[in-house]
Structure 1
Amino acid sequence: MNVNFKGTTIVSVRRNGRVAMAGDGQVTMGDQIVKEGARKVRRLYDGRVLAGFAGSTADAMTLLERFERRLEENKGNLTKSAVDLVKEWRLDRALRRLEALMLVADREETLLLSGSGDVIEPEGDVASIGSGSGFALAAARALLEASDWEAERIARRAIEIASQICIYTNDAIVLEVIDQ
């Protein structure tokens, strides 16, 4: 599975009891921009979970719906819901072909989910996925270390910086925040 999806950048930042997740709004098909204002970061489970996705939009929406169902079944337990989704994603013949990555977070943890069977808790207080992931990750880590900015300001600025470097990322930013 190709994990370097084009067309999006998602970053999650934790600081001072808050978790912020930001994503750009650009959707591309091949070498064309088809939408500039897509919403790739969502609040789930009564606003207690944030989810961002990279990859094929239809595939990501399918996974998002299934993840939300898992959250309901598991009463908001992020880890159990993530593991259950990834198992289903790996084992189901139709789902196995879906090309997407998800970044999910609640008050306590952030997890990266993939169709390869990965449920990864990233090290540190920053995580990212998508085509501009490396740029956003580096920017957010630097801002976290060198400033006293709040999580949401760092997440927003990291996407802005990624949008200046990655041609598949724009600065039409959707930002969601959860207080711990």
Structure 2
Amino acid sequence: MDALMAALVAAALAQVGDRPAWLAAILADRYRAPGLVIAMAALALLAAGLLAAAASLLIAPRLTPEAKQLFLALALLFQGVGAAFPVKVPDRLDGWRLGAIVTSFAGLFILAFGDGVQFIVLALAARVELFWLAAVGATLGSLVVIVPAAVLGEAGWTALPLKSLRRIIGALFVGAAFWLGLGALRLI
């Protein structure tokens, strides 16, 4: 259960102002079907999260508990540092003629799979026995941000103070990373 809640909170914070939510807003505007885009986002995020969580089965047996904690600290540090950089507008997928379902699923899967949240899912899943709970938590956490983005549409979403929020959230991730890292190294 720890992995579910930790992944939910981390993903919800990490997705604020990030590209998957922005793409969901773009696609919801284009297809005028926010519900469909949200459903495809849920499936895409869950698929990407399950792949990351399943990869933890390969690395978890090789890591000590301290190494697992250090790995999580590194994932949070990368997410926090990444939040300091401006977010590029996601590809609008204008050339994709696959329909609303396939375009939404594939576009959001590709964007989510390369996202820093997947690194956090991998690190959290490596720490627990029920690895798939990290994927479920990250999916739910991401949807906390993606649902409003799809409902608001691109204009409403980009009008929010996302840059300031990302900086604050990035600082929180960096702080948590240092705390976990120092704990893993037994310096605190």
Give TM-score scaled by structure 2 length: 0.30
Higher percent of residues as strand: 1
Query: Larger Rg: 1 or 2?
Result: 2
Higher percent of residues as helix: 2
